[in-house]
Structures are given as C-alpha cells and as structure tokens.
Structure 1
Amino acid sequence: MHALSSAPLASITTATVPTYDRAALKAGILHFGLGNFHRAHQAVYLNDLFQSGQGHDWAIIGASVREADAPIQQKLKGQHWLTTVVEQEADRASATITGAMIDYIAPGDTAAILARLRDPAIRIVSLTITEGGYYIDPATQAFDANHPDIAHDATHPDAPRTTFGLILAGLVHRRDNGIAPFTVMSCDNIPGNGHVTENAIAGLAEKIDPALARWVRDTVAFPNSMVDRITPATTERERDILARDFDIDDAWPVFCESFRQWVLEDQFPAGRPALEAVGVQFVPDVAPYEHMKIRILNGGHATIAYPASLLGIHFVHEAMEDEQIARFLAKVEADDIVPIVPPVPDTDLGAYFALCQRRFGNPKIGDTNRRLAHDGANRQPKFIIPSAADNLAAGRDAPGLALVSALWCRYCFGTTDAGAPVEPNDPSWDRLKETARQAKDDPQAWLAMRDIYGDVGANPRFAANFARALNSLWTNGVRATLESYLAGTL
C-alpha cells in the first residue's frame, strides 16, 4: 500500500503520477473552495497542462473561509497537497495523482489569505463555493446586499469574514498600491456565474463606497464559464476501492466520470494559463452552453432525484435502471426542457441529452440521489423553475415540471413513499418541511414561497398542474402518479 505523499510517487505504478518538478512550481491562482468538484475539474486541467511542460507559474494555492474545511486542509497537508483522481466508466477505471496545488491556507487564517491576494504573482482568483455561497435571493436571482455576513464585511472591510469580503480587500490593496487587479473566475454551476460574482463583489463595494463599486465594475474581469463533470462525494466506499484496486492510501480521493467540459470566456487581462492546450473551450459567449447544461443536465438530475429518493433508490444509476423513472426523465426532457433551450453552436441538443442519459447511467460512479436532491431551495430556482417560466411565457403548461416540483414538495415532507424518514437535506429544511406539511392540504402554500417560485407559483396553469400532481402523490403514491403522467392522464 502506497500512502500518498511526495516521497513514493516514483514507485506508484497503478496511477499516472506527476512528471513535472513540483518544487519548481510557482503560484499563480488562489482558489476558494477545495471540494471534490474543483479537484476533479480545474485542478485536473492544470495538472494536464503542467504534465505537457507548460504553465508552471500557474500552480494553485487553496483557501477557505469555512472552519468546517479545517479537517480537509489537514488531510491534504498530510499528503503534500496531492490528490488521487479516479475516472470510472462501466468497463474501465483509471487513476491519476494530481499535483497542481502547492499549498492550502488553513481556514480562518485571514492574514495569510490577504497576503496572497496582495501578491502580484496571483493573477487569477477562482471559486467553487457552491450555488448557496453567493448570497443570491432565490426569487430575484439578485445579490442579497442585506445579508448579515455582507453587512459585517461592509462595516469591517479590513477584517472580512466572507470570500467576497476577502477578495474585495485584496483588490483594494492592489488599487491603492498600483498593482494590477487579478481576474476573478467563478467555476460554480450558476447561470452567468461571472456576472453573479461581479454583482456580489461590486454589491459589497457599493455598501462601502459607490466609487469603489464603479472601480470594480470598470476594472476587474469576471469571465463567465460553464463547468461539467459528475463528481460524487467521497466516502469509505471510494477509499476502499482505491486501496483495493490501485494500492493507494489517499485520505481524500476524488472519484468522477471520464467526461469533463469547461467552456470559458477569454477575459483575462492579467494573463492566464494556456488551457486550450488541454481541452478548455474559449468562446466569446458562454451563455448558450451553460443554458443547455443547467437546463438539460442539472434539470435532469433534479427530475430523477426526488422520485428515486421517495422510492428508496439510493444510487443515480439505479434510478436510470428503473424503467419508469427513465421514461419519466425522457418525457419531461422531451416535452418541457429541450424544446425551450436555445440553439448552441455546433451542438445537437438531442444528442446532448442522450449523452446525459448515458452519464447518469454510469454504474461505477456511485453518485447518490440524496446528493442530487440536496439544497433544492437553491437549485430548483436555477434548474427547474426557469424552464417552467419559459414554457408558461410561450403558452405551454409544462405539466412535467409541475410534477417535478410536486415531487420535491413531497420529499421535503420528510418521509418516503413507504413511510421511512427522510433525513434533513437542505439548509432550509425546517422551513421546507413545515411548508410541505401545510401543502398536503393546501398545495398553494408551497407555491406561495415567492423567494423560490417568483411569478411561476402564482401562475394559474402551473398552480393547477402542481396541485393535481401533489394530490395524486398523496392519494395514489409515486408509482401511480408517474404512470398517470406518462399515460397523459394526470
């Protein structure tokens, strides 16, 4: 068994290992949020670039504002910031040890983070802080400038607590000392993630000084991006597979599918690594790609997660093996999602959905329906409700999406179809559970959450379809309701 560290890399024959000199790497990127997705995506692209002999001044320094990330930092420190990334498909698996990260500042060490942000060598600050980390009002999708965390950073700009407060403090120092600003690059799965990040940082700046906000908007680059790779959480299952099949002991490995995609606006005035050499697509407009991905792939994930969870189906690939759920996904996509997705350059939307179906069905990936069902209060307003709104605006009723919303409501009631408890699975779980209990007798109570549904919840056609679906779920159960929808009789 090889315990992952720098020393035994040359002796590892079961995985591809870095052939570049990690000691010679220089930091060019400070990254907030060292979760599994970042380590399976951005860090892998950079590792590939370094393996090709290019970009060795673009290594990653990790950072976090969450004390909960301290154990993660310690695990990675113990293995010299190395990560084993295992790509799994139905018929094969391969492991790569990545070395693109060269340090990870301990959570809470504000001084060290600010020092890195002030360093001219840091030319990109990137983020994977999840959809819930951007202080977005779910209904308006606008930055919530009145959130207590933002209010704190506005009144204590030299002692920030949030990622955005830290970034703004670093930018202010650079402005005041004649240092070019870094590019701020979101890698989170949010529509217009560059615009969202700009609005967050400029929104915080506005509370401090309107002139500072104007400087941020006029001077700092916030490229939009579309990122994609299915990456489940790491459990003992993954560590055991790595030890058994690859003879590697990694405290926090990442398992993922082989597919990956990164579409990025080429807006980097401070410079960037040559990521096009390792498959990143640089385009003038990311919007069509992210629209396709968020509506078809992420919307598809939400479509199967709730019925599968209510039926006690644990893994995503098991949901795709369930003939009824697979047909439900195909019908919702064909009727309510794909038709309202605008064209994407050089892309067949039908073929893209077929690719998503194959990816969802990967039996090796071990992705769970519980992960897909997590944080619906943030994800539904991004992945499902906008598609419903577009359908309604076009004169279409979108009954499949109304049923997806009803399934989410039924899930938040807190029991499966068989009566087993559903453990809390949302930061707003208490509120959602109470509202779902009210909605059992009054479906409109669920749609009245305007911060989530906006105008869609007040639409009579959507409300009628939602009520029929929810009433059927309670009266007839999940299986019968799905079958009624598939037969066109719901």
Structure 2
Amino acid sequence: MAARLSRATLSAIASPVAVPSYQPEQLSPGIVHIGVGNFHRAHQAVYLDELFEQGLDRDWALIGTGVRESDAEMRADLAAQDFLTTVVAQEASSSQARIIAPMLDFVALGETDAVLAQLVDPRTRIVSLTVTEGGYYLDPATQAFAAEHPDIVADASDRLRRPKTAFGLIAAALLQRRAIGIAPFTVMSCDNLPGNGHVAEASVAGLVELVSHSDAAWIRENVAFPNGMVDRITPATTQRERDRLRDEFGIEDRRPVFCEEFRQWVLEDRFTAGRPRLEEVGVQFVGDVAPFELMKLRILNGGHAAIAYPAGLLDIAFVHEAMQDPLIARFLSMLLEAEVMPLIPPVPDTDLGAYKRTIERRFANPKIGDTIRRLCLDGSNRQPKFILPTIRDALKAGRAIDGLALVCALWCRYCYGETETGQPIAPNDPIWPRLTMQARQARFVPEAWLAMQDIYGDLGDDQRFREAFSRALKRIWEFGTRPSIDRYLASLGS
C-alpha cells in the first residue's frame, strides 16, 4: 500500500527512495522564493536539500510564496504533506526518487502583510524568483520594462502600500528594510531570461522609479541582482506522474516533480548579504554568466522552439516522439549547426558541439514525457527571447536566416489554430485570439504577421527577413510542414 507523503510516513517509505536526514527544527529561513512551481522544486530546492544533507548552511532554508491564484492551491497541497516534495530524476534506463525538505513554510496568496513581514525579516537575505519569462513586465519588442502595464500602474498608484505583483512586494520590502535600518536582501532571478539579474533590477527599480527617484537610485546602488543560468528539463505534473510515483515507488504525493537527471546552475558571485555555499553541491560561480546564458538560451530554448511548432502541426504529442522523427531531429541538428552556433561566442571550458549533442540526447529522453504543447506555450514571450535575437545577429553578420525564418513561419502557422490534419489547437498563449487573427490574415498576406511591432519591432521591416519569412510561410501553406523542412535541409546539402 502506498504511503501518503508526510513527515510521519517517511520511515515507511522503502528504499531505494532517498529521504531527508535532517529535521525542520534544524533549519532556519534565509530565502523567500516567489513562484514555487515544478522547476524551482527540481532545481534550486534540490541544490539546497543536498547542501543541508551535508550539514552545511542550514540557516538558508526556504519560505515559499506566490502572486497567482494557483499558488494558493499549491500552498494547501504542500502544507498537507509538511512541505515535502518527491523529485524523480529520470534517464532512459533509470529513475531515481528522492524526497526533499528544504522548505519550512509557504505564505499564501493574498496574505500581503504576512509576505511583507517575511521579506522584511532580517533572516531573509535572498529573495529568489521563478515567475516565468512572461512575468517580468517587459515590452516584447524592446525587452525594456513596461512601466505602463496595468499591474505596475496599480502598484505605483497605491505607492506600494498593498502591492499585488512580485516586484511590488520586493520593492516595498526593500524600502521598509531601508527605513528601519536592515540591510537589503539579494534579488536572485532563476528564470530563463537573457541577463535575468539585469531584468529583475529593471523591473524592481523601474517600479520604484514611478514612486520615488531617490529610492530607485538607492536600490540600483545597494541591492545585488546577480545574473544566473539555470537548466533542468522539468515538465508539468499530471495524473500520469502521480500514478507512476504510487505504482513504482509506493508514494502518494500531491505535487511530485518528474525531471531529467541533468541539471546546471551558473551564477554570478554577487550577493548583498551573503549566500549559501552552493559550490559544494555543484553550482558554478563565475564572474560573467553571459556566455553560458547565451549558449543555453539559443541552443536549448531556441532548439525547443525549432522542434515544437513542426511537431505541433504534425499532431506529435511528446518531445521524445518528435526527436524520433528523422526529419524533425535533422532539422534541429542542421539549424543549430548552420545558423545558431556560428553566432555564439566561445564559452569557458565548454565544447559547443558536445553541448549540442547533450541537448539532443536530453530532448530524446523518453522518460521525461515533456509535451510539445508545453514547448509551444507563450510563443509571444518566448520567440522574442529565444529566436528573434539570433535572427538580428545573423542579419548584422550577413549570415543565412532561412531556417530561423522557417521557425517563425511555423509558429505563425501553429497560431492559425489547427494542425495539418484539421485538428483544433486549443489556445496556447496569453494573446491567443490576437495571434490567431494575425495568422489568418498572414495566410494570404504573410507580412501581416510581422506587423505585430510589439513582438517583432523593427525586425519586421527588414527586407531580408520579410522575404525569407514570406517564402517560408507560403511554402508551408502550399506544400505542408514536411516538404518545407525538406526543402530547407536540401538547401544545406543535407
């Protein structure tokens, strides 16, 4: 019979599942994390769990919180199991389960005073975030802070008295700490964004700028926002994963996380009030994260986009199934080699070719169960971060862009709202109705898609890109996805 996860049932959970050896009373809080989703619990929380298992830095335990309505349900589920999580790391030939326990509490959504009290607590020395690429209030085309966003305007209009956004909470807490003489905490983004520390700083300081120029200047001068590169493929949890955990490991967990075995965290060593010794558990501290970040965003995240939209149009459900399709796998490989990797500067102690092969192996892992739909999600935020910057660099360098333009055209065709067999594609973007409308216009006038200046900016006016995109989209509509990819590969001699 399966054991329902809690502190009381840990002794009943059978080997080979690893269980925590430390107790909650041996920990004290040091980090407040905003956005306690699967990725956080498979990544940052696992590193901290390993550190605590070594008996190190147990004054850096986690307090969770969030700003979305779904966070309240997450809090209830985790509280019911004493804030424990089962993490199952999977390779093609193995699965390893461990129960992690670095979280002490979760302050529920709407409890603004309680959240602020935790953020102002002197023991809180780091505030970390995983609020997704779309949660930073950026203009999609310019990637600058969107000060006019209604959520930001609301927090600023209230002068940060009852903030609703993650950045409003952070800003209000920093200013309260300043007022009562407590050193500021470090703000540590763990999201997949170019220069995520710089972006977090722009969002916090940009919001405060709307209220007080002097306070915004103080934040820029006194608060650390280290950049970091994070990586671990972590799909959404469904009933399928919960059933597998029960059947294979004998554990009933409301919020298990299934992920790949691979993980990476490269982080700038820049902290306002100290940090845990994460280098003891594999975190790589460097002076400049940018080369690692660019490599990952363009090869892994850009690679995800390259396989997602053709697979979605061809009714392929899972990422590993897409990699089993010879045409899609070859498209990924050749696009990366021909158009993406030549624009990536050298990365310290890293062989780009070996990194690419690792990415392809990770995508092909059948145990992960990562869905194509997840990769297709939120293209209006992801394309400007993972695909369009490479196109801009290629145009400046006078290099080929046909494959990258094809990726954009496949995204446009996906947003039309039906697969090549006529199956409807459910809404999969915050601005899905608008994208569908533009995609339907672009079927006959391709340039209509590029007219979305908030996404493409001046790139939509570049003649080379417009021509390459138009050719690709017309070909997709006339011949289909497979022939369009075939033609591109043939142009490379593949």
**Range of TM-score over shorter length:** over 0.9
Residue 96 of structure 2 corresponds to residue 94 of structure 1: yes
Q: Which residue of 2 aligns with 1:459?
A: 462
Q: Which residue of 1 aligns with 2:78?
A: 76
Q: Which residue of 1 aligns with 2:276?
A: 273
Q: Which residue of 1 aligns with 2:146?
A: 144
Task: State the TM-score, normalized to the length of structure 1.
Answer: 0.99
SS, match of residue 435 in structure 1: helix
SS, match of residue 229 in structure 2: strand
Q: Distance in 2 between matches of 1:420 and 1:441?
A: 21
Task: Percent identity, please.
Answer: 61
The Cα of 1:101 is off from its aligned counterpart by 0.5
Q: Is the 8 A contact 2:65 2:71 kept in 1?
A: no
Q: Which residue of 2 aligns with 1:49?
A: 51
Q: Which amino acid aligns with 2:340?
A: I
The Cα of 1:10 is off from its aligned counterpart by 2.0
Residue 452 of structure 2 corresponds to residue 449 of structure 1: yes
- C-alpha offsets along residues 287-320 of structure 1, whole Å, 9 cap, x if unaligned? 0000000001000000000000100000000000
- C-alpha offsets along residues 144-188 of structure 1, whole Å, 9 cap, x if unaligned? 011111111112111111111111110011100010000000000
The Cα of 1:21 is off from its aligned counterpart by 1.8
Q: Is the 8 A contact 1:407 1:470 kept in 2?
A: yes
Q: Distance in 1 between matches of 2:167 and 2:226?
A: 16
Q: Which residue of 2 aligns with 1:290?
A: 293
The Cα of 1:479 is off from its aligned counterpart by 1.2
The worse-fitting range, judged by mean Cα deviation, of 63-72 and 301-310 is 63-72
Q: Which residue of 1 aligns with 2:179?
A: 176
Q: Which amino acid aligns with 2:193?
A: I
Give the superposed CA RMSD: 1.0
The Cα of 1:451 is off from its aligned counterpart by 1.2
Q: Which residue of 2 aligns with 1:199?
A: 202
Q: Which residue of 1 aligns with 2:394?
A: 391
Instruction: Work out the number of aligned pairs and report it.
Output: 490
Q: Which residue of 2 aligns with 1:34?
A: 36
SS, match of residue 285 in structure 2: strand
Q: Is the 8 A contact 1:397 1:461 kept in 2?
A: no
Q: Which residue of 2 aligns with 1:6?
A: 7
The Cα of 1:68 is off from its aligned counterpart by 2.2
Q: Please, which runs of 5 or more residues in structure 1 have no aligned partner?
A: none
Which runs of 4 or more aligned residues in structure 1 lie more than 6 Å from their structure 2 counterparts after TM superposition?
none
Q: Which residue of 1 aligns with 2:68?
A: 66
Q: Which amino acid aligns with 2:24?
A: R
The Cα of 1:24 is off from its aligned counterpart by 2.0
Q: Which amino acid aligns with 1:81?
A: F
Q: Distance in 2 between matches of 1:52 and 1:331?
A: 44
Q: Is the 8 A contact 1:397 1:462 kept in 2?
A: no
SS, match of residue 89 in structure 2: strand
- Decide which of 190, 193, 201 is 1:190's aligned counterpart: 193
Q: Which residue of 1 aligns with 2:417?
A: 414
Q: Is the 8 A contact 1:192 1:224 kept in 2?
A: yes
Q: Which amino acid aligns with 2:187?
A: V
Alignment of 1:333-372 (within 5 A): 333-372=336-375
The worse-fitting range, judged by mean Cα deviation, of 1-10 and 296-305 is 1-10
The Cα of 1:210 is off from its aligned counterpart by 0.4
The Cα of 1:100 is off from its aligned counterpart by 0.4
Q: Is the 8 A contact 2:118 2:124 kept in 1?
A: yes
Q: Which amino acid aligns with 1:422?
A: I
SS, match of residue 351 in structure 1: helix
Q: Which residue of 1 aligns with 2:380?
A: 377
- C-alpha offsets along residues 61-116 of structure 1, whole Å, 9 cap, x if unaligned? 00011122211111111001000000011000000100001100111110100000
Q: Is the 8 A contact 2:313 2:419 kept in 1?
A: yes
Q: Which amino acid aligns with 2:180?
A: N
SS, match of residue 474 in structure 1: helix
Q: Distance in 2 between matches of 1:315 and 1:48?
A: 31
Q: Which residue of 2 aligns with 1:124?
A: 126
SS, match of residue 380 in structure 1: helix
Q: Distance in 2 between matches of 1:266 and 1:283?
A: 6
